[in-house]
Every structure is written in C-alpha cells, then in structure tokens.
C-alpha cells in the first residue's frame, strides 16, 4: 500500500514540476453510496474533495492523475449497534478523458486506481452490556478502484460532473468472502474548477 501511495505522490510531484501552464482542477462533490453492500446499507455521504492533473494529451484524449478524498458516516437510522463510524476513502488513480471538438462541452473519462478505506469506530455510550467499555479504534481496507465520469463545461473553467466508482475491497479473511463485504459502489455529483 505504501509503495502505491509513494508512486502516486511521485507522479503528482513530477507532473507539477513539469507544468508549463496549469492543467490542475479542484473538485467538490457529494458521495452517495449505492447498492446492497456494507457501505450502501450503513453509510451516508458527507463530502468528497478531489484534485486532477492532466499531464499529457494526444489528439482528442487527455491523460492524467487524480486524488479523491471522500468522507462518509454511519447512518444512525440504519445501524444495528450504537457505534459512530467515520469512513475516509482515499482514491488515487490515473485516468484518460475524451477532449473532442465534436462534443466540446462534454468530457467522459475512465480511470483506474487503488483505494484505501479508513474506518474510525467510536462508542462512548455505556448502555449495551455486551460492550461496557468505550471503543475508539481505526481499521482499514484497500482495493482496486474503477471510475467512470462525465464532466460538462459550464464555462471555460467551471464544470459540473457526475462520477461512478466501483471498489473491489481485498479479502482479509475476517468476514465471509461475499459481494456484500467486498464490492462498494459510489455515485458522486459535484462541480469542479480548472485553475
């Protein structure tokens, strides 16, 4: 996992150092967990922040790297136990986007990366006899991430964007190897700004 994060860090630093003009974009969106899985059933989105950098273009395609940080929290209405869970999704990826004169305002893109899911679990209420002590722990999972997005240019710099992320969480042996425990689907809707 550290090797992958270091690779993406190196990629971003190299891209910024060789930039002649800014190909950097900042994004903010709302992450909406979907589907019947452990995230879709138990979490609500808070916010997703992203940064994208285009480091090469060839004809009608842009090639770049991106980093998304998504925050979710456990849903009080849906949770079975009295735990407060904060989830942070760290999603570095590389992508290719269409930049065609035939559809100048639309920019579909596909990306692939490796996601790290960090779950902070806390419980300070002492109403459950099965858990008489406070709980404060952090757990993490990781897995491959595939992303599809569509951006629409509102102005030259400002754009609206929808994204779909599929994460295949690695199997750690602690839970049954089921689709419910390993597949995560996120839909994101937001805006971006090209610097």
pLDDT of 154 above 90: yes
Which positions ≥6 away from 139 have C-beta within 8 Å? 118, 119, 121
Question: What's the pLDDT score for residue 175?
Answer: 66
pLDDT of 161 above 60: yes
Question: What's the pLDDT score for residue 88?
Answer: 95
Looking up residue 155, the CATH number of its domain turns out to be: 2.40.160.20
| Domain carrying residue 50 | 2-194
C-alpha angle with apex 108: 10 to 159, nearest 5 degrees?
A: 85
Looking up tokens 């190909």, which residue turns up? 23
CA distances from 107 to 56, 129, 149, 155 (A): 15, 54, 8, 13
pLDDT tens for 55-82 read 999 889 999 999 999 999 986 665 555 6
Q: How many domains is the chain partitioned into structurally?
A: 1
pLDDT of 151 above 80: yes
């Amino acid at each position: 996992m550290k090797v992958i994060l270091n690779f993406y860090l190196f990629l971003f630093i190299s891209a910024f150092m060789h930039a002649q003009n800014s190909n950097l974009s900042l994004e903010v969106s709302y992450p909406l967990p979907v589907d019947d899985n452990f995230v879709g059933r138990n979490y609500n989105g808070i916010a997703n922040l992203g940064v994208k950098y285009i480091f090469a273009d060839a004809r009608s395609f842009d090639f770049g790297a991106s980093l998304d940080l998504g925050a979710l929290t456990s849903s009080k209405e849906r949770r079975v136990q009295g735990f407060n869970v904060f989830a942070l999704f760290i999603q570095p990826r590389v992508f290719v986007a269409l930049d065609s004169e035939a559809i100048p305002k639309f920019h579909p893109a596909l990306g692939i990366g490796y996601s790290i899911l960090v779950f902070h679990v806390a419980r300070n209420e002492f109403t459950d006899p099965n858990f008489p002590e406070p709980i404060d722990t952090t757990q993490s999972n990781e897995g491959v991430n595939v992303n599809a997005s569509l951006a629409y240019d509102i102005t030259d710099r400002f754009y609206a964007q929808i994204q779909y992320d599929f994460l295949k969480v690695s199997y750690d042996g602690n839970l049954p190897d089921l689709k419910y425990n390993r597949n995560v689907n996120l839909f994101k809707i937001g805006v971006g700004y090209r610097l």
